Amino acid sequence: MQESLTTTRPAVDAMRFLVAWLAGPMLLRTATLMTLLPAANHWQNITLSARILALAIPQDLFIAMQALFCLSFVRFALPRRLSRGWCVLFASLATLLYLIIHSYLLVDFVLYIKTGLRMDYSFLGFLSEAKSFASSAWAIGLGSLAVGFVALLVVGGMIYRLFRQMAESLRFSWPIAAAFPVVAVLAAASRDALPDQLGYAMDNVVLADEMKLIAHWIDGEPALSSATESEALQWLEPQGENFRRVSPNYPLLKYTDGFYGEKQFEIRIATEERPHVVFLFLESFRAADIGVLGG
């Protein structure tokens, strides 16, 4: 009887781990669906939601299994019989991993709800300039994100207790390892199976970033751009234009004296016409810079 309990407990704890890991992304995806689907035809919405959630489960499960394997290997490297200190260390590490991944999912959810954009690992390259985005973050309203982080910390306390109980029994499970490549194939296939109009919003953003990183690695491209300011300004250098810079402190501000090269188009204006329309195109300006337009 004791041997049976010893054999089954790691498998049971592994399943508890996966269920706990799946709850967060499934809840956020359901909340996203509620904002996207029309209010009419409730029955059709229910069936469509069930189909989308079922298709997306392999993606979430694949990420959860990766976390389980990582922690299983960490547990394998620790002493077979853990002391209290080792148990606390392992549970803290597992909880930290949980909070990092789910914080990323939470930021992605709020970003999409507020702006229609999904998170991308390349955004992490702007962390050193986070202060520049403060006005935009304040303008779109991030109260829901603060509430989400508080809720995540509360859940993190419960997750810590769960991982603390699992510290002794969590082991590498061969049945789960055998299922891993199957889940990986299903996760990749589900990204193509999701409806086109909802696929962008429903994909697991962590899996999407992993696939992008793998693609960059295969192509030999850097994961994050390392372009300097001078290199970036070269991309904006005017082509076929005679100009004078106003000041070295403002590299994009210039006086245009004329153009050279082959004419690409021609605007015909009659002598009696007096054009008085000026178009200003602004892209990726923070709220602090466009407050006159409502931020």
Is 144 in the same domain as 268?
A: no
DSSP letter at 250? E
**End-to-end Cα spacing for the chain:** 67
Do 123 and 56 lie in a common domain? yes
Same domain, yes or no: 246 and 201: no
Are 254 and 279 part of one and the same domain?
yes
Boundary residue ending a domain (198, 219, 240): 219
Q: Tokens in use for 174?
A: 């061969």
Closest by CA to 183, choosing from 44, 18, 50, is: 18
* Whether residue 208 sits in one domain with residue 186: yes
- Residue 149: pLDDT band by 50, 70, 90 thresholds? very high
Any alpha helices (H) in the chain, and if so which ranges? Answer: 2-36, 42-77, 84-115, 134-140, 143-166, 174-193, 196-202, 205-219, 229-235
Mark whether 26 and 140 lie in a shared domain: yes
Split into its structural domains, the chain has a count of 2
Which amino acid appears at position 120 of this protein?
D
Predicted TM-score of the model (pTM): 0.76
**173, 234: one domain:** no
- The residue among 200, 219, 238 that closes a domain is 219
User: What is residue 132's predicted lDDT score, i.e. its pLDDT?
Assistant: 80
Asked if residue 224 is part of any domain, the answer here is no
Q: Which of 9-18, 81-90, 150-159, 252-261 has the lowest mean pLDDT?
A: 9-18
Same domain, 109 and 179: yes
* Structural domain includes residue 200: yes
- By mean pLDDT, which of 22-31, 155-164, 231-240 is the weakest? 231-240
The answer to the question of residue 72 being in a domain is yes
Mean pLDDT of 125-140: 80
> 6: pLDDT confidence band, cut at 50, 70 and 90?
very low
| Cα(23)–Cα(47) distance, integer angstroms | 20
Q: Considering the chain, what percentage of its residues have pLDDT values greater than 90? A: 21
Inside any domain, residue 225 = no
- The verdict on 102 and 163 lying in the same domain is yes
**124 and 63 housed in the same domain:** yes
Ranges 113-117, 122-126, 163-167: which has the least confidence: 122-126
Instruction: Tell me whether residue 209 is in a domain.
Output: yes
Residues 6+ apart with CB under 8 A from 181: none
From 191, 219, 247, give the residue that closes a domain.
Answer: 219
Residue 42 has pLDDT above 70, yes or no: no
What is the average pLDDT score of the chain? 82
Portion of the chain with pLDDT greater than 70, in percent = 87
In a domain, 105, yes or no: yes
Q: For residue 239, give its domain range.
A: 230-293
Residues 6+ apart with CB under 8 A from 194: 52, 55, 56, 202, 203
Does residue 124 share a domain with residue 23?
yes
Residue 163 shares a structural domain with residue 108: yes
Judge whether 167 and 67 are in contact, CB under 8 Å: no
Tens digit of pLDDT for each residue in 227-285?
Answer: 566 776 777 788 888 999 888 888 888 999 988 888 888 888 888 888 778 787 877 78
Name which of 8-12, 154-158, 185-189, 210-214 the model is least confident about.
Answer: 8-12
